[in-house]
Amino acid sequence: MTSTSPQNKHLRFFIGGRWVDPAGTETLEVINAATEEVMGRVPAGTAEDVHRAVTAARAAFDGWAATPLQARVELCSAVARKLQERQQEIAVLIAQEMGTPIKVSMMVQAALPAITFGSMEHLVEQLPWEQRLGNSLVVREPVGVVGAITPWNYPLHQLAAKVAPAMLAGCTVVVKPSEVAPLNAFLLASIMEEVGVPPGVFNLVTGYGPVVGEAIAAHPDVDMVSFTGSTRAGRRVSEVAAATVKKVALELGGKSANVILDDADLQTAVVDGLKKCYLNSGQTCSALTRMLVPRDRLGLVEAIAAATVPHFKVGNPLDPETALGPLVSDAQRTRVREYISRGIAEGAKLVCGGAQPPPGLERGYFVAPTVFSEVTPGMTIAREEIFGPVLAIMPYDTEDDAVRIANDSMYGLYGGVWSSDTERALRVARRLRTGQVELNGAAFNPLAPFGGYKQSGHGRELGPYGVLEFTQVKAVQL
C-alpha cells in the first residue's frame, strides 16, 4: 500500500475553535476505493474527546443562540462561498474516498453542500419563528447542542444537511463523520475556522460509531442527535439516546419502489429507473431499487434493461466517462456480492451482471451492475437494502397490486411513479407510504423535506422543514 499523502493526514480534532490533540493515540486508515491503497489517516476518537467537544459546544451555545439571525445567515453564506471555491478539490477527494464518478461528484458531492449552506439566506423569511395563537405567542427556539452523526455515501452533503440548518437555528454542533470517508469533514472544519465561525459552534471528532457515536448519543449535555445511516445503527442510537430523553432525528435505509404503470413510455421509464438505481453505484438510501412493471410487459422491460446496462461504464472514478465507480469498501463489496448470490439461490432471474468482478477490475471495490427479474415480494433482494448496483424487477397484475407490493416493505423513504397521465401518477403517488415520490423522473429538489415513513426513520432534512427540526416550540401566554 502507498503512504498517506501529507494533505490527507490529520492528527488533531477541531474543538472549541482550535485544532487539539486527541486523548488517545489510535488512528484510522482511509482507503482509496478504486485502488485499495491508503490515502489518508485520521484520529480514532474516544469518549473523552466527545466530552471535550460537547463541553465546548455547551459553552458556546448561549452566545450563539443570542447572535442576531442575520449574522448567523451571513456565516452560512460565507461557508457556501468557500465550498464553491473548493468544489473541484472536494469532488476529487470524495471520488477517491468513496468512489463516486467525478462528474457525479462535481454535481452532487461537491455542489449540494454549497447549495445547502447558501440556501439558508433564502429560508429565513419563510420560517415561522414567532406566531400568535389566541392569547399565546408561539416562538421557535434552538434545541441546543446537536450531535450530528453522518454516513459515508454522501459525506459532505449529509454534514451540510445537518450543520447548516442547525447553525441557522442557533444550535451548536458536534460532528462525527463516518470513519470510512472522513477526510472531507476536515476540509469543512478548516472552512469554519477560515470564515470565523465562533469557537465551539462547530466541533469535529472522528472515530468508530460504537465509541464516538454512542458517546455523543449518551451524553447528557447533548440536547438532540441527528443521525443518518443504516436502520440497524439508527435503532442503537435511539436506544442509547433514550436514557437522557433527548430529541432524535433519524434518516435511515430504504427499499424504494419505482412503479411503472401500463400507460408509461417503457423505454424512457426503464432507462431512467436504471440511472436512479445505480446512482453512486447504488449507494444511495433513496435509490429506486425495486422496479414494478406490468406482468405482460416483463419481457420487454428485461430486454430494455439488458440493452441499457452495458452503456454504464464501470471504472476509475476520476475518468469523466465513468458512470459507475467502485463501492466504498471491501466489506461493502462483499455484502453486495453475497446479496447477488442469494438472489440467484432464491430463484430470481439474473438478466445481467452477477457476483464476479467486472472484467479488468479485479483491484478496487468494483461490482458489476446487476439486474434481476421475476423477483417476488418474499425474496431477500426485494426486502433488504443492498446498497449496491442491483435492480430487482418485480411484475404486478393491477394498479392496486402494484401499490400493495410497493408498500409491502418495512421502509418508506422514497418512490417513483411513471404514467402518461400525470393525474393518475399523482393518485398512485398519494397511496405510497413514503416520504418522497418522484413522478415521471422529476428532478431532486434540495429544498423539499427529505425523510421517511416506517423504519426509514423520522424527522425531516433540507429546506425550511430541515431548519425547524432543530428548534423547540415555546408558548408564552400574554
3-class SS at 247? strand
125 Cβ contact partners less than 8 Å away, ≥ 6 residues apart? none
pLDDT at 286: 97
Q: Is 451 contained in some domain? A: no
Whether residues 42 and 142 fall in one domain: yes
Whether residues 224 and 324 fall in one domain: no
How far are the Cα atoms of 93, 340, 364, 441 from residue 34, in angstroms, in the given order? Answer: 12, 21, 4, 30
Whether residues 146 and 14 fall in one domain: yes
- Distance, in Å, from the CA atom of 253 to the CA atom of 230, rounded to the nearest integer, reads 5
**Helix 399-407 and helix 422-431, axial crossing angle in degrees, nearest 10:** 40
Q: Is 230 contained in some domain? A: yes
Q: Dig out the grid coordinates for 340 from the structure.
A: 447477488
pTM score: 0.96
20 Cβ contact partners less than 8 Å away, ≥ 6 residues apart? 12, 13, 14, 52
Q: Is 172 contained in some domain? A: yes
CATH number, position 435:
3.40.309.10
352 is catalytic: no
Q: Is 127 contained in some domain? A: yes
Q: Is 135 contained in some domain? A: yes
Segments in 86-154 forming alpha helices (H) = 87-98, 102-104, 111-123
Whether residues 78 and 169 fall in one domain: yes
Query: Active site residue: 171, 285, 352, 438, which one?
Result: 285
pLDDT at 3: 46
The conformational region for residue 454 under phi > 0 = left, psi -120 to 50 = alpha, else beta, is left
Whether residues 182 and 228 fall in one domain: yes
Query: Active site residue: 97, 251, 385, 438, which one?
Result: 251
Whether residues 218 and 312 fall in one domain: no
H or E stretch covering 162: helix 155-169
pLDDT at 1: 40
Whether residues 137 and 218 fall in one domain: yes
Whether residues 421 and 461 fall in one domain: no
Whether residues 182 and 284 fall in one domain: no
Whether residues 268 and 340 fall in one domain: yes
Whether residues 471 and 420 fall in one domain: no
DSSP 109: I
285 is catalytic: yes
How many domains, in total, are found in the chain? 2
Domain housing 14: 6-252+456-477
The conformational region for residue 126 under phi > 0 = left, psi -120 to 50 = alpha, else beta, is alpha
pLDDT at 281: 96
3-class SS at 248? strand
Under 8 Å between Cβ of 470 and 459: no
pLDDT at 117: 98
Q: Is 19 contained in some domain? A: yes
H or E stretch covering 471: strand 471-477
pLDDT tens per residue, range 305-316: 999 999 999 999
CATH number, position 119:
3.40.605.10
Q: Is 368 contained in some domain? A: yes
Q: Is 1 contained in some domain? A: no
pLDDT tens per residue, range 125-151: 889 999 999 999 999 999 999 999 999
Whether residues 275 and 155 fall in one domain: no
pLDDT along the chain (478 residues), means of 10: 65 98 96 96 98 98 97 98 98 96 97 97 92 97 98 97 98 98 98 98 98 98 97 96 97 97 98 98 97 98 98 96 96 97 98 94 96 98 98 98 98 98 98 98 96 97 97 98
How far are the Cα atoms of 49, 144, 306, 419 from residue 298, in angstroms, in the given order? Answer: 55, 53, 12, 16
